[in-house]
Amino acid sequence: MCAIHQPNLFPRLSTLAKLFSADQWIVLDDVQFARRDYQHRARLAALDDPARQQWLTLPTHLPHGRPTLISQARLVDPRRSRRTIRLLVRQYYGRSPYWGAVSEVVDALDDSDRVADLARASTVALLRVVGWAGKVRDSSEIPTRQGRSERLVDLAAATGSTHYLCGTGGLRYLDASPFDAHGIPVLPFHTPVDDPLWRWARRSSSLWALGKIGPDALAEHLAAQREAHDPGAHV
């Protein structure tokens, strides 16, 4: 089972849960960069009041203007961006009893000036700290057709995925017919709405949940979502 998603900086809990539930994350790194999306920014929620949030935004240069691909976007000042990340994340989560795990995620960021590399590394670090053992592939390495849904099913098929895990955003535009033609079922992915941990899942970075309950408890919550979306568990 695969999930296909753009690289996000310290991704939201809903995104992390979707990726954790998949066996493979195909990083959609060759589509157009969007300044209003989450490749170069994340919402940090306060430990004691998740409704109080602040954007962590990394100044980004688009060498080709609006058509710039995610993989081509560059940090304006890589050193300053990394210093901002460390200072702001420590300000929000430095008092957490699980600061060690949060710090481990931040320390995993590489020295690249590419926004996609930084976002990818932050996501992989969060997945690893909660015990995910899946594989990561970049979409730019896989030949596909041009159509939006055709492209996604080609990525799923090329990686040997038996199912495609699709979030609520993707479901709004997805055409399931190419997936039906390949015999790859589309599985809708939804996170709970009535649980305090998940109330802010589609807005705030997963760093809040990690700092709030720690990696072990967070892994248990994520595993529960994976089980809930496992097609084999409902046969």
DSSP one-letter string for the chain: -EEEE---SS-BHHHHHHHHHSSEEEE--SSB--TTSSSSEEEEEPSS-TTSEEEEE--EE-TTSTT-BGGG-EESSHHHHHHHHHHHHHHHHTTSTTHHHHHHHHHT--S-SBHHHHHHHHHHHHHHHTT---EEEEGGGS---SSHHHHHHHHHHHTT-S-EEE-HHHHTT---HHHHHHT--EEE----SSSTTTTTTTTSBHHHHHHHHHHHHHHHHHHHHHHHT-GGGG-
Q: What is the chain's mean pLDDT, rounded?
A: 95
Sign of CA dihedral 70, 74, 80, 83: positive
C-alpha distances (whole Å) from 183 to each of 160, 161, 233 are: 12, 10, 19
The tally of domains found in the chain comes to 1
In a domain, 234, yes or no: no
Mean pLDDT of 85-94: 98
Residues 6+ positions from 15 with CB-CB distance below 8 Å? 5, 8, 38, 123, 167, 206
Residue 186 confidence (pLDDT): 97
Residue at 166 is within a domain: yes
**How much is the pLDDT for 212?**
97
pLDDT in tens, 24-34: 999 999 999 99
CA triple 149-154-157, angle to 5 deg: 125
- The fraction of the chain above a pLDDT of 90, given in percent, is 91
Residue 235 within any structural domain of the chain: no
Percentage of the chain surpassing pLDDT 70? 99
pTM for the whole structure:
0.96
pLDDT at 85: 97
What is the domain extent for residue 51?
2-229
